[in-house]
């Protein structure tokens, strides 16, 4: 029988990451709070980040994710709470004395310096000699697939994607223990973003560094992360692997944030449109039954499924590889996504039945 | 259509262009011509010679020139040092107070420079505000604080303060906060950030502020006359004397030309090094 995750568990406890159990913790955040006047940006944040992990913090704008990363990078001080880097408290250490580095949303490249000088900046600050700096800069250009002659180029001669790579190279030149990213891809167009997402993930596995990435884009988070932390109103709503969060969200907020979803309220009135085989789910407990659009399928006459919904086929949308349908039911509109070869026989306006298996569904406790 | 627009544009710019040429270039040309006339003539219908320039060299006018340029350099340096923190605060720290400060500083420009300098004369002179009070309270007087070189530099700093402050604030406003934060994040100290980020990125504002203050100070007369008395004679004073009391227009013109060439060369050198377009917001990058 499907059961919801009990509400009183801590996110970390319940969703222990399957990917990072043995690795050492590099960064610990404990009871972090940040207020700006009467506004609470962060309301008690606890998190452990494992060495070499790619953690993405996702949330709508205003959820406090930028404040969080600014505190982690040392650009803000928390009102309360602790940040520990390998058991050393660093929350009061200024940014220029932390062994971490951030890639800004604006990239913050130095426009008056050449590409090479930008990359060499952290080395120059450390007093590395000129020849060694140049060697390292050229290595980094190669790592980020930029031609060596970019070394002498001006920043304004580079495209958006190239600037992105330069900012990354500069951050890597610093050789940080943790690399923070504050929505660095948000200003780029779709195709470039897709390319860079993959490159970032690739870079992460090649360098083995710990990446902490902030975005409001669920897609970015899904593609790149080992773990995703969903933020809402200054708190973590759920922390887990991308799969965990996508298939087993703890709340309606997470379910809806992670893409299109059908949430069927398990109330007595729902019975007319939603038919559940006996023993599939304990309807008396209430809550929401979640079914992603791609787990639903059209049932032909005579077919049946443990979970069934009936309604009128309203509209068809072509998504390219897939087809999406809206079915209006007694419990609201339902979204279905099927492959092209599973197109339903029924015409628009006809009555249809949708079905799925309990294993593909998930029970959310809060209504 | 576009060509027509351009032609109409050029045509309507013509009157102003003509006015600018007449009012700016014509006097300059006249001064240049007078500077190569024989001594003490009042028309340019003479055979040119360089006797006026010879006079400039032989009569030791270089001393006035050196004083003017030296004091201008001193005033500009002092202005830069005192205006930088204030301009930084105006551009990055103060919020509404920046407007109050701007209005306050601009208001001083509404009162004539000479009147403001006379105010300082009354404050600093023997028997003035400071010395008078001192004598009243202690019973012992002194000679007053006027008529020396430092007080002239003080006068220049006081008068040209807005000409440094506003361009600097404008320049500093152009430095992106992100760049400064990124530099700190990459390990740079405050001092390093100032050197590597703030100064180079605010360079257009710095150059304009310094240039304005230097050029105006180098040609200034009132400060040395009113506050400095006869402590030193500045080049502007020499030019004025040559044209009026000396009745030697070619000499005055030659002195002017020397000043114009020196200051102009410095200005061109400085302007060449900065991107004025960026300061005026014509190009975003």
Averaged pLDDT for residues A23-40? 91
Q: What values do phi and psi take at A66, rounded to 5?
A: -70, -40
Which of B182, B194, B207 is the best mutation test for A, with the most CBs of A within 10 A?
B182
Contact A75, A95 (CB under 8 A): yes
The proportion of chain A whose per-residue pLDDT surpasses 70, expressed as a percent, equals 91
Task: Note the maximum CA span of chain B.
Answer: 83
Q: pLDDT value at position B214?
A: 94
Contact A359, A291 (CB under 8 A): no
Q: pLDDT value at position A17?
A: 46
Could you tell me how many CB contacts below 8 A there are between chain A and chain B?
Answer: 64
The closest alpha carbon to A195, from A226, A230, A151, A160, belongs to: A160
Please name every residue paired with A239 in a beta bridge, in sequence order, or none if there are none.
A229
pLDDT higher at B196 or A265: B196
Q: Chain A residue with minimal CA distance to B179?
A: A108
Averaged pLDDT for residues A341-349? 85
CB of A50 less than 8 A from some CB of B: no
Give the pLDDT band (50/70/90) at residue A14.
very low
DSSP alpha helices (H): ranges in A155-288? 160-173, 190-207, 218-224, 242-247, 252-257
Number of other residues whose CB lies within 10 A of the CB of residue B215: 19
Alpha carbon distance A139, A141 (integer Å): 5
Contacts of A202 (CB under 8 A, 6+ apart): none
Residues on chain B touching A94 (C-beta within 8 angstroms)? 184
Task: Give me the tens of pLDDT residue by residue for chain B, a chain 285 residues long.
Answer: 678 888 898 899 999 999 988 998 899 999 999 999 888 888 888 888 888 888 888 888 889 999 999 999 999 999 999 999 999 999 988 878 889 999 999 998 899 888 999 999 999 988 888 888 888 899 888 887 888 999 999 999 999 999 999 999 999 998 999 999 999 999 999 999 999 999 999 988 999 999 999 999 999 998 988 898 878 889 999 999 999 988 889 999 999 999 999 999 988 888 887 766 555 554 444
**Per mean pLDDT, which range of A9-13, A80-84, A358-362, B120-124 is the poorest?**
A9-13
Contact B266, B214 (CB under 8 A): yes
Give the pLDDT band (50/70/90) at residue A226.
very high
The closest alpha carbon to A312, from A339, A291, A299, A330, belongs to: A330
Averaged pLDDT for residues A305-319? 89
Give the pLDDT band (50/70/90) at residue A366.
low
Pairing label, strands A54-58, A210-215: parallel
CB of A209 less than 8 A from some CB of B: no
Alpha carbon distance A285, B253 (integer Å): 100
Q: Are A125 and B192 within 8 A, CB to CB?
A: yes
CB of B275 less than 8 A from some CB of A: no
Dump pLDDT digits (tens) for A47-72.
999 999 999 999 888 889 999 999 99
Q: Are B181 and A108 within 8 A, CB to CB?
A: yes
Comparing CB atoms, the residue among B178, B186, B285 nearest residue A121 is B186
Alpha carbon distance B185, A98 (integer Å): 8
Cα angle A324, A328, A331; round to 5: 120
Please name every residue paired with A264 in a beta bridge, in sequence order, or none if there are none.
A289
Q: Are A95 and B184 within 8 A, CB to CB?
A: yes
With helix as H, strand as E and coil as C, how does A28-76 read? Answer: EEEEEEEEECCEEEEEEEEEEEECCCEEEEECCCCCCHHHHHHHHHCCC
Q: pLDDT value at position A20?
A: 45
User: Which burial class, exposed, middle or buried, applies to A359 when counting CB atoms under 10 A from its CB (0-12, 13-18, 19+)?
Assistant: exposed
| Tokens encoding A311 | 């309604």
Would the pLDDT of A355 be above 60?
yes
Residues on chain B touching A125 (C-beta within 8 angstroms)? 186-188, 192
The 8 Å CB, 24+ separation contacts for B95-104 are B98/B169, B102/B166
The closest alpha carbon to A231, from A212, A211, A210, A208, belongs to: A212
Q: Closest approach of chain A CAs to the CA of B189, in angstroms?
A: 7
Q: What values do phi and psi take at A354, rounded to 5?
A: -110, 145
Would the pLDDT of A166 be above 70?
yes
Q: Are A96 and B184 within 8 A, CB to CB?
A: yes
The dihedral over CA atoms of A199, A174, A240, A84, expressed in degrees to the nearest 10, equals 180
Give the pLDDT band (50/70/90) at residue A241.
very high
Alpha carbon distance B144, B271 (integer Å): 41
Dump pLDDT digits (tens) for A113-144.
999 999 999 999 999 999 999 999 999 999 98
Q: pLDDT value at position A344?
A: 84
CB of B182 less than 8 A from some CB of A: yes
Average pLDDT of every residue of chain A? 86
Alpha carbon distance A108, A100 (integer Å): 16
Would the pLDDT of A268 be above 80?
no
Task: Note the maximum CA span of chain A.
Answer: 78
Q: pLDDT value at position A284?
A: 67
Would the pLDDT of A319 be above 80?
yes
């Amino acid at each position: 029988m499907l059961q919801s995750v009990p509400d009183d568990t801590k996110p970390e406890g319940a969703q222990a990451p399957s990917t990072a159990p043995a690795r050492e913790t590099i960064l610990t955040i404990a009871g972090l709070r940040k207020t700006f006047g009467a506004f609470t940006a962060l309301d008690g944040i606890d998190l452990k980040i494992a060495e070499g992990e790619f953690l993405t913090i996702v949330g709508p704008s205003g959820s406090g994710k930028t404040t969080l990363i600014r505190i982690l990078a040392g650009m803000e001080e928390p009102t309360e709470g602790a940040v520990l880097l390998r058991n050393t408290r660093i929350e009061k250490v200024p940014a220029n004395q932390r062994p971490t580095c951030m890639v800004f949303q604006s990239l913050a490249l130095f426009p008056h310096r050449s590409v090479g000088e930008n990359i060499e900046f952290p080395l120059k600050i450390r007093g590395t000699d000129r020849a060694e700096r140049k060697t390292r800069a050229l290595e980094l250009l190669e790592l980020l697939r930029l031609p060596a002659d970019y070394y002498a180029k001006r920043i304004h001669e580079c495209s958006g994607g190239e600037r992105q790579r330069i900012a990354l190279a500069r951050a890597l030149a610093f050789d940080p223990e943790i690399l923070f990213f504050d929505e660095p891809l948000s200003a780029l167009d779709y195709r470039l973003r897709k390319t860079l997402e993959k490159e970032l993930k690739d870079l992460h596995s090649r360098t083995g560094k710990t990446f902490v990435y902030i975005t409001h884009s669920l897609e970015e988070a899904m593609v790149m992360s080992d773990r995703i932390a969903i933020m809402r109103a200054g708190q973590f709503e759920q922390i887990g692997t991308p799969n965990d969060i996508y298939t087993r969200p703890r709340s309606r907020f997470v379910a809806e944030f992670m893409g299109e979803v059908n949430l069927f309220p398990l109330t007595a009135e729902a019975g007319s449109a939603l038919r559940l085989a006996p023993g599939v789910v304990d309807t008396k407990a209430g809550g929401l039954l979640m079914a992603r659009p791609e787990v639903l399928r059209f049932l032909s006459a005579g077919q049946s499924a443990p979970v069934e919904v009936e309604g009128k086929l309203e509209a068809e949308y072509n998504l390219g590889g897939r087809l999406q349908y809206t079915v209006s039911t007694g419990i609201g509109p339902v979204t279905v996504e099927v492959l092209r070869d599973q197109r339903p026989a029924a015409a628009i306006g006809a009555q249809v039945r949708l079905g799925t298996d309990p294993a593909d569904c998930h029970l959310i406790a809060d209504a | 259509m576009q060509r027509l627009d351009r032609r109409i544009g050029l045509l309507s710019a013509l009157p102003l262009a003509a006015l600018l040429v007449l009012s700016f270039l014509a006097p300059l040309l006249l001064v240049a011509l007078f500077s190569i006339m024989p001594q003490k003539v009042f028309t340019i219908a003479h055979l040119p010679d360089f006797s006026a320039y010879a006079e400039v060299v032989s009569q030791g006018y270089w001393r006035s020139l050196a004083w003017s340029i030296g004091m201008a350099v001193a005033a500009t340096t002092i202005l830069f040092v005192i205006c930088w923190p204030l301009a930084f605060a105006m551009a990055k720290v103060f919020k509404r107070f920046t407007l109050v400060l701007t209005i306050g500083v601009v208001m001083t420009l509404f009162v004539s420079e000479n009147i403001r300098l006379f105010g300082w004369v009354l404050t600093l002179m023997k028997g003035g505000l400071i010395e008078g009070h001192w004598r009243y309270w202690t019973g012992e007087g002194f000679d007053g604080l006027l008529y020396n070189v430092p007080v002239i530099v003080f006068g220049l700093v006081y008068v040209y303060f807005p000409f440094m402050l506003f361009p600097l604030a404008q320049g500093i406003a152009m430095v992106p906060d992100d760049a400064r934060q990124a530099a700190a994040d990459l390990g740079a100290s405050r001092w390093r950030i100032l050197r590597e980020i703030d100064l180079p990125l605010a360079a257009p504002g710095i150059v304009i502020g310094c240039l304005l203050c230097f050029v105006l100070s180098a040609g200034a007369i009132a400060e040395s006359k009113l506050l400095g008395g006869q402590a030193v004679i500045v080049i502007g004073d020499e030019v004025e004397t040559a044209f009026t009391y000396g009745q030697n227009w070619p000499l005055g013109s030659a002195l002017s030309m020397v000043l114009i060439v020196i200051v102009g060369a410095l200005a061109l050198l400085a302007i060449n090094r900065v991107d004025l377009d960026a300061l005026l917001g014509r190009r975003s990058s």
